[in-house]
Amino acid sequence: MPATVKAVPDEQISAVIAEFMSLDGPLLPMLHALQARFGHIPAAAVPLLADALNLGKAEVHGVISFYHDFRDAPSGRHVIRICRAEACQAMGGETMAERVLARLGLDWHGTTANGAVTVEPVYCLGLCACGPAAMVDGRLIGRAEAGRILAEAGA
């Protein structure tokens, strides 16, 4: 993950929250808007969301951590997602993932020091017949190989 994450002022977070207060069930739209605006869900947003929606901080955190698309820090300029589901594992996905992570010097959810690439696990990309599967910047790759994934991400 990049070395520094800029703090987002509470006023900016509150402004995003206020935009969605009139909706029924506004938490997910709020979270999506926060991530779209800041590139991640700032930690300072959790208590502000909890207070605004009369929820516990743990409940807000639980929603954020449940959905794999929400981040607590900005992602790299390129995002590699590698399928970890059984069909892809059976087709060599574990070895391929290990090669990608080793080449980048990362663990899962890590971002290269220069902020270029983030690697995330996912648990099905819907390409089970073409495993192992990966996604680079939203583009699906079937029968994925480490070299191709890294090339697609410019790494």
13 close to 42: Cβ distance less than 8 angstroms: yes
Tell me the pLDDT tens digit for each residue of 28-40: 999 999 999 998 9
Cβ atoms 110, 78 nearer than 8 A = no
Q: What is the pTM of this model?
A: 0.75
Strands 78-83 and 134-136: antiparallel
What pLDDT shows up at residue 4?
56
pLDDT tens column, 101-140: 999 999 998 999 999 999 999 999 999 999 999 999 999 9
Among the four given CATH numbers 3.40.30.10, 3.10.129.10, 3.30.70.60, 3.40.640.10, the one describing domain 78-152: 3.40.30.10
Within the chain, all domains assigned CATH 3.40.30.10 are found at 78-152
Dist CA 85 CA 78 (whole Å) = 22
CA-to-CA distance for 89 and 144, rounded, in angstroms?
12
